[in-house]
Amino acid sequence: MHTAIIKPQWSPLTIALMVLGFIVFWPLGLAMLAYIIWGERFGGSAERADAWVSRQRARAERCGRHFRRNSFSMSSGNAAFDDYRDEQLKRLDEERRRLDEEVSEFHDYMRNLRMAKDREEFDRFMRERNGNRNNYGPGPRDERPRDNGNTGNDGSQIDL
């Protein structure tokens, strides 16, 4: 799990960093203020940031295809070069999709690896906890006589 050292919220640390940023160089203070106000909207984890970038890239590709479909794309005037360029762009798009899939598979692998590590640590904790629980019991049974109400004030057994 990814955690931020400085959370995008109003805390004494973030306020101090914002004021210090304004003192040192005003764009730093402005950036800190923007992070405090809008930081949660942009994620807080690498996965959410990657998802946002992917959504923006997909939106840009849809717009790009729309413009190409309507002949708004720039043509060089050379049909052979335009075909070559389109072929290379398609190849790069396929390569980008392949890389995105590999990144996604890697993130899945790392998540599964972290889950397995967490599971192993939890199982070890439970084994140790259950193993130590036996040590807190009464131990071996004492062979002392039980108090059945027939003892004197000094603890000696009274025969009835």
What does pTM read for this prediction? 0.35
- Kindly list the distances between the CA atom of residue 94 and the CA atoms of 88, 89, 90, in Å, as whole numbers in the listed order: 10, 9, 6
157 in helix, strand or coil?
strand
Residue labelled with tokens 């043509």 = 75
Q: How do the domains of the chain map onto residue ranges?
A: 1-44
Query: Each residue of 44-80: pLDDT tens digit?
Result: 566 666 777 788 888 888 776 555 544 445 778 889 9
Residue 14's closest CA among 29, 1, 2, 24?
A: 29
Query: Each residue of 85-126: pLDDT tens digit?
Result: 999 999 999 999 999 999 999 999 999 999 999 999 999 999
